[in-house]
Structure 1
Amino acid sequence: MSQRSERVPLPCPSCSPEEGTVHEVLKPGGQTTVRCTECGHVHKEKIEAPEEVTVDVVVSQDGDSDKATLTAVADEEIEAGDEFVVETAEAIQQVRVTDLELGPERRTESAEMREVETVWSRVVDNVGVNVTIHPKEGDGRHEQSRSIKAFLPGDYEFTVGETCEFGDDSFEVDSIQLRDEVADDYRHKKLDHVGDTGFAKDIKRVFGRDTTTSAWSAW
């Protein structure tokens, strides 16, 4: 969420008494001292602080949930997919909005902050990505596919056609299934063309083909 800027639009009595220009806040207070960035004129103005609200935030990470609060300007828009930083009892974390609760059984994906009772979110700076690894093709064995979870920074990139190595696991990425709230930010919800890339924080599951050189084991 945005914080109040140290620059504000105001009429300038020297160069623009009718139209607002960008002013730098020099000294905040009841009578705020500002300087016009167009002509340098310094004057005092009464600037009303915007109404603020504080709402509850539920922070989810790998099946666990924690609580925090968020203070924001009352008429600021918030929607699913927005990211911001919150402080929980455990850590300071980057989270992404997944859902907004306006009241009992009232959910939406977009609203003004004044309407929101609870922001539902998930951690995106460090995430666990589910990976399904299919066995090698044409090796004469009949192993089953298996799943692992890779814990990674949210901005880690998976690319279709590239090989990934996590511990003893090595696989070539076949396709990437994206989360619903970010599907519009990509070409398709499922990425399956060589070169398609997705961030770990946006991914629901990665599908890959085993590339380990040793005997593949379902365990």
Structure 2
Amino acid sequence: MECPICGSDNITVLKSKETSSKSKHINDYLLRCNECEHVFKDRVTQRNPISCRLIVSENENSKKTSIKLYPDEVLKCGEVLLADDGQVKVNSIETKEGRRDSALVSDIKTIWATSLEIPARIGLSIDFGGKVKSYKLDLNRDFEINTNDIIRIEDYTLKVHIIKTGSKKLSTGSARADVIKRVYTKPIDLKTYDYNLTDNIVQINFKDDYY
């Protein structure tokens, strides 16, 4: 709030009054400018939060719930929201016109999100020269994997060759577990390794498409 006479924001609230309806919240103020002593009124109107349908993914499971958001705000994919069960990351936004990367909250039908309160689940594949063994691993979301890392899985020592994220494949560099989709590895004849992920295994498969 600014003084309409001198433009200063050095304001003292003399009186305030709140009124609410089903759709909005109104604050009426009597104010005094501390610079020029001008006394004036101002009103701040805010629409009340509305309930939005929220579907939260927890690895293979999904949970339907709802979240209250202000209708005049713009929601974007990638934003983090605080839901009833903790933080979630927005993956997709559905409106009457279809999926969007961003939308006004009042136009949203469904928000699709991923829980940030559980470990990240990634895939890891071992290439045995045509035959592939595949794992699903649960890792801390901020755990970082680098290309050329040496990993121990069960009785295998592996070298990371490619890291696949949701948007690209990395042949150099690193990525956090919360963005990794799959790590591609090959067995090597070494006894030493950077870290052991055997305790992080949640599923093993013997058939998978490599790359």
Q: TM-score range by the shorter chain?
A: 0.5 to 0.7
Residues 31-79 of structure 1 deviation map (CA, whole Å, 9 limit, x = unaligned): 469999x97x9x9853222443220100112211112212222122222
Shift of residue 14, structure 1, vs aligned partner? 8.6
Aligned to 2:175: 198
Task: Letter of the 2:79 partner, please give it.
Answer: D
Gaps of 5+ in 2: 19-26, 193-204, 207-211
- TM-score with structure 1 setting the length: 0.65
Identical-pair percentage: 23
If each structure's strand is expressed as a fraction of its own residues, which one has the higher value?
A: 2
- TM-score with structure 2 setting the length: 0.67
The structure that has the greater radius of gyration is: 2
Aligned residues: 180
**Structural RMSD (CA):** 3.7
What is the alpha-carbon distance in structure 1 between the residues aligned to residue 61 and residue 50 of structure 2? Answer: 26
What is the alpha-carbon distance in structure 2 between the residues aligned to residue 24 and residue 161 of structure 1? Answer: 62
Aligned to 2:147: 160
Of the three residues 16, 36, 54, the one matched with 1:57 is 54
> 1:32-181 alignment to 2 at 5 Å?
45-87=42-84, 92-103=85-96, 106-125=98-117, 126-135=119-128, 144-165=131-152, 170-179=157-166
SS in 2 for 1:114: helix
SS in 2 for 1:46: strand
Of the three residues 154, 159, 184, the one matched with 1:207 is 184
Task: Letter of the 2:180 partner, please give it.
Answer: I
SS in 1 for 2:148: coil
Gaps of 5+ in 1: 1-9, 136-141, 184-188
What is the alpha-carbon distance in structure 2 between the residues aligned to residue 165 and residue 128 of structure 1? Answer: 17
